[in-house]
Amino acid sequence: MRPAVGLLYNPSTPALLAHAPGLVEHLSAMPDRMWFDFGDEPVGQRFRHAHGAIAELAGHARGRSLAGHGLGLSLPSAMPLDGAMLGAVVQVAEGVGGFEWYSEHLSVFVTPGGAAVPNAQAGLGLPVVYGDESFALLAPKLRRLKDALGCRVLLENPAQFSPLTDLDCSEPEFLNRLYRAGLSGTLLDLHNLYVCQRNGVTDPLAYLEALDPDSVEEVHLAGGDEFGGFYMDSHATVTPQPVWELAREFLPRCRRLRAITLEYQESYFEQIGLAALARELELMHELAEHCASTAPAPSC
């Protein structure tokens, strides 16, 4: 199967779509950016959706595949699933005619207690302790999310900045376990893996050797930069060469891969430039062809 080539949708995406419409086959959109959350309002009035932005996204998604990519549900957290936010996600999905699949992050993003809104953001994805307890927290939330949206759910490997110790299992083993339990597939962010390598957290080759390639249904490419002595997942540049090399080596093994998605942060749109982003998309098409021409045949 040849994966589709696409973009994580942001306010600058329409300009890139106008510049290179034929290069974009897939869009991934964050519903969290399409509402205002008035957390202290009565139930039913908390979320005000940006209906114009939702309609614009639906228009750009016509003729392309469309997936949702959420940030705010903070699924591995010990806090209960935010049912009102899940309802807001479903409302966005209905507004765009449905998501083909939906991804969330394998990170904790909310800080409980004392905040003005129930889902106060931590500002940075906090790491998950991989083991039975986190699995038990995630399983019912993943089932509920899948039932609410009626589509496949994926979890994305996080960018991390320092090694974790005393885990019951490794991150790829945890993702494999979720996949084999039928709870979620993997959104493999190869740049996040590179971030982990640069910060001394992970050996990407060992990581990819341990990850079940059949679990991988979407891939993220991106670029970052250095800040405060760390390499950051800032989405500030084009994809670094080592990430392309990981992609060419590993992705042909991923026979269930549906999309390769580029993430760039809109505040760096002018700095990266239209020509460089279009070139990035061309390279992604070459990668998709490489996957299709060298991929192993699907098993029965």
Closest CA to 153 of 234, 211, 83, 93: 93
Residue 233 beta carbon to Fe ion: minimum distance, rounded to whole angstroms: 7
Q: What is the DSSP string of 60-110?
A: HHTTSEEEEE--TT-TTSSSPP-HHHHHHHHHHHHHTT--SEEEEESSEEE
* 198 vs 220 by CB, closer to Fe ion: 220
Residue 263 beta carbon to Fe ion: minimum distance, rounded to whole angstroms: 5
Residue 121 beta carbon to Fe ion: minimum distance, rounded to whole angstroms: 17
* 47 vs 193 by CB, closer to Fe ion: 193
Q: 209-226 in b/e burial notation, b at 16+ Cβ within 10 A? A: eebbbbbbbbbbbbbbee
Residue 105 beta carbon to Fe ion: minimum distance, rounded to whole angstroms: 8
Closest CA to 173 of 208, 146, 205: 208
What residues line the site for Fe ion (CB under 5 A)?
Answer: 189, 220
Whole-number Å distance between alpha carbons of 92 and 86: 10
* 189 vs 214 by CB, closer to Fe ion: 189
* 82 vs 189 by CB, closer to Fe ion: 189
Closest CA to 159 of 211, 200, 195: 195
* 141 vs 220 by CB, closer to Fe ion: 220
Residue 159 beta carbon to Fe ion: minimum distance, rounded to whole angstroms: 8
Question: How many Cα atoms are found within 13 Å in the side-chain-facing hemisphere of 274?
Answer: 10
Containing 59, the helix (H) or strand (E) segment is: helix 51-61
Residue 238 beta carbon to Fe ion: minimum distance, rounded to whole angstroms: 15
Tell me the residue type at 35: W
* 47 vs 247 by CB, closer to Fe ion: 247
* 138 vs 155 by CB, closer to Fe ion: 155
Q: How far are the Cα atoms of 28, 67, 260, 265, 266 from residue 25, in angstroms, in the given order? A: 10, 12, 10, 19, 20
Residue 155 beta carbon to Fe ion: minimum distance, rounded to whole angstroms: 11
Q: How far does the chain reach from its first CA to its final CA, in angstroms?
A: 14
